[in-house]
Amino acid sequence: MPGSPSVSAPAPSAATAKGSYALVGTALQLRGVPYRNGGADPNGFDCSGFTQYVFAQYGVRLPRAVHDQFRVGTVVKADELTAGDLLFFTTTAPGASHVAIAVGPDEFVHAPSTSGVVRVERLSARYWSDRYLGARRITQP
């Protein structure tokens, strides 16, 4: 339920897992799209525009702002991450200021910065692991 995440996430069903892998496939197809502040389409994305766009392709409406996306879904423990989970980081400001989509337990795809493009990175990389804030699982219809 939006705004009230639970303490832990249930194991995904086969149907949910299948949808999550399709969602990640869509996200991965967007690799190379340039970063654009305020961007929310394949001409350019910022981080939350990217996640909002990808989830919308599967009928899932996410809020536009990172801090609002951080408030939806179910809390997921770091050792229970699966494809399609939203990962949150504190980068430019305290609290959730960056969002990405988990590809697997140690990889994620995101729109990283004004000088970057949509790409895959490792959660275990020091920069990201030091800034990791938490994850949320969004139930797909």
CB 70 within 8 A of CB 99: yes
CA-derived radius of gyration, the chain: 13
Considering the candidates 33, 47, 54, 109, report the single residue annotated as catalytic.
Answer: 47
Mark whether 110 is an active-site residue: yes
Considering the candidates 88, 89, 110, 112, report the single residue annotated as catalytic.
Answer: 110
Considering the candidates 9, 98, 103, 111, report the single residue annotated as catalytic.
Answer: 98
Mark whether 67 is an active-site residue: no
Mark whether 47 is an active-site residue: yes
Q: Which residues are catalytic, by number?
A: 47, 98, 110
